[in-house]
C-alpha cells in the first residue's frame, strides 16, 4: 500500500509574476544593448578606422576635436602603474611639444618592451580629443581609449542575456504544465530545456570574443541554435521512450557493517520524525538526529516501520528535497512516513530497516 498523496501543487502566482517581471526587465536591457549600445560602438569604431590624417594647418588646436587623426611629438614625464588590478595597467603622463600635458592609460607594465622611460620621445595620436595610440619609436601601442572592439562587451551581455530570458519562459511554461499532471519536482522535459539554455547562453555570450565582427558573432550564435535543437530533439525522443508510468526507482539494499552518519531526515506524523538533518544507519538500526556526529539526541525508528518503495522527490514533499535526494516511502501501522536522503546513502537506509521477509524494498 502506497502512502496517500495530495494533488501536486502548481506554481504560485507570486513566482510567476516575479519571473515575468525579471524576463521583462532582462528583455529591455538586452534590447537596449543590442539595438542602441552595440550600433553606437560599431559606428565609433568605423569612424576611427576610416579617419584620415589631419592636414598640416589642422594639426594644432583648431583640429583638436575634428574627426581626423592628429599626431604630435611628446615627451614622457612619468609612468605610474595602477595597483590592485589583476591585469597590468599603467598611466602614461606626456607633455606635447606645445607644452600641453595629458595622460592616457596603457595595458601592460611600464618596464615591458617598449620601456616607458621618463624623458623618452614618443608620438601620440589624438582622435576626437583623446589619445588613441602611442608610437614608441618603431612600436605602436593602443591606449584604453581605442574604440576598436568596444562593441564586444555589450554584445556579449546582450546576446547571453537575450538567449537566457528567451529559454526561461519556455522552461517555466513546461514546468507549470508538468506540475498540473505530475507530482515530480524535476521532470526530464524541464531538465532538457535548462540544459539547452546552459549550452546556448555561454555560446552566445562568448561569440563576440571568438569572432572579429558583430555579424560573425551573430552568425556563430545562429549556427549554434539548430545544433542544440537537433541534439535536444534526439535526447527528447530517447528520454520519452525510456519514460515509465511508474516512477519507482530500483535501489539495492546494503546492510551497513558499522554505523554511518549522513545527511537525511524522517518525515511524517510519528514521534521519531524530524530530529534534525542527519540519519544514523547501522546493522538493524535507523535513527534521526540533529547531531552531525550521530552520538546524541537519537530518535530510533521502530520495527513496525516498513519500506514500500523508493521514488524521486515530489512537489508535495515537505521541504522540497533537491535533485540529489531520493525519497523512501514507508508505512508504520498505516501511517505514511518518508525517509529522505541522498542517492548514494539510500542503500544504507534500506539495509538498516528491519525489512519483513515478504517485503521487497526494490519494488
Structural domain boundaries in the chain: 13-33+151-242, 51-142, 260-352
pLDDT band, residue 318 (cuts 50/70/90) = confident
Which residue in this structure is represented by grid cell 498540473? 180
Give the CA dihedral 338, 339, 343, 349, nearest 10 degrees: -140
Q: Domain 51-142 is of which CATH architecture?
A: Beta Barrel (2.40)
Query: Nearest-CA neighbor of 76 among 137, 112, 117, 125?
Result: 117
Say whether pLDDT at 66 is over 60. Answer: yes
- Under DSSP, the state recorded for 36 is I
- Under DSSP, the state recorded for 191 is H
Cβ–Cβ under 8 Å, residues 63 and 72? no
Residue scoring higher pLDDT (307 or 8): 307
Task: Judge residue 246's burial from the number of C-beta atoms within 10 Å of its C-beta, 0-12 exposed, 13-18 middle, 19 or more buried.
Answer: exposed
Query: Nearest-CA neighbor of 170 among 223, 232, 235?
Result: 232
Condensed to tens digits (0 to 9), the pLDDT of residues 265-316 reads 898 888 888 766 889 998 888 888 888 888 888 888 888 888 988 888 876 7
Query: Nearest-CA neighbor of 325 among 345, 307, 306?
Result: 345
The top-scoring range by mean pLDDT among 37-41, 171-175, 358-362 is: 37-41
- Residue 246 has a pLDDT of 64
CATH number of the structural domain 260-352: 2.30.29
Task: Judge residue 159's burial from the number of C-beta atoms within 10 Å of its C-beta, 0-12 exposed, 13-18 middle, 19 or more buried.
Answer: buried
Tell me the C-alpha to C-alpha distance, in Å, between residue 308 and each of 124, 244, 247, 342, 357. Answer: 80, 18, 13, 17, 13
SS3 204: helix
Amino acid at each position: 500500500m502506497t502512502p496517500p498523496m495530495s494533488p501536486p501543487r502548481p506554481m504560485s502566482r507570486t513566482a510567476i509574476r516575479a519571473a515575468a517581471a525579471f524576463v521583462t526587465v532582462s528583455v529591455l536591457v538586452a534590447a537596449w544593448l543590442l539595438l542602441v549600445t552595440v550600433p553606437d560602438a560599431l559606428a565609433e569604431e568605423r569612424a576611427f578606422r576610416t579617419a584620415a590624417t589631419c592636414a598640416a594647418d589642422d594639426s594644432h588646436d583648431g583640429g583638436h576635436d575634428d574627426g581626423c587623426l592628429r599626431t604630435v611629438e611628446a615627451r614622457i614625464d612619468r609612468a605610474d602603474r595602477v595597483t590592485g588590478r589583476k591585469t597590468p595597467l599603467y598611466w602614461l603622463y606626456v607633455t606635447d611639444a606645445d607644452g600641453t600635458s595629458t595622460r592616457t592609460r596603457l595595458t601592460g607594465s611600464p618596464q615591458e618592451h617598449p620601456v616607458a622611460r621618463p624623458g623618452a620621445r614618443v608620438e601620440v595620436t589624438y582622435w576626437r580629443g583623446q589619445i588613441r595610440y602611442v608610437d614608441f619609436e618603431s612600436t605602436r601601442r593602443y591606449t584604453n581609449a581605442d574604440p576598436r572592439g568596444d562593441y564586444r562587451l555589450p554584445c556579449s551581455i546582450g546576446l547571453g542575456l537575450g538567449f537566457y530570458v528567451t529559454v526561461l519562459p519556455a522552461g517555466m511554461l513546461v514546468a507549470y504544465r508538468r506540475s498540473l499532471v505530475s507530482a515530480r519536482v524535476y521532470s526530464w522535459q524541464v531538465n532538457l530545456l535548462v540544459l539547452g539554455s546552459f549550452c546556448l547562453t555561454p555560446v552566445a555570450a562568448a561569440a563576440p570574443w571568438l569572432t572579429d565582427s558583430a555579424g560573425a558573432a551573430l552568425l556563430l550564435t545562429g549556427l549554434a541554435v539548430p545544433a542544440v535543437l537537433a541534439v535536444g530533439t534526439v535526447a527528447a525522443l530517447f528520454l520519452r521512450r525510456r519514460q515509465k508510468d511508474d516512477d519507482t526507482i530500483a535501489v539495492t539494499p546494503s546492510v551497513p557493517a558499522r554505523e554511518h552518519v549522513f545527511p537525511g531526515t524522517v518525515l511524517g506524523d510519528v514521534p521519531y520524525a524530524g530530529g534534525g538533518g542527519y540519519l544514523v544507519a547501522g546493522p538493524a538500526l535507523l535513527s534521526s538526529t540533529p547531531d552531525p556526529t550521530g552520538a546524541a539526541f537519537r530518535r530510533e525508528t521502530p520495527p513496525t516501520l516498513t519500506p514500500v518503495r523508493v521514488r524521486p522527490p515530489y512537489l508535495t514533499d515537505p521541504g522540497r528535497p533537491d535533485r540529489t535526494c531520493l525519497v523512501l516511502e514507508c508505512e508504520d501501522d498505516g501511517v505514511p512516513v518518508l525517509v529522505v536522503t541522498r542517492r548514494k546513502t539510500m542503500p544504507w537506509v534500506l539495509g538498516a530497516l528491519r525489512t519483513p521477509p515478504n517485503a521487497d524494498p526494490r519494488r
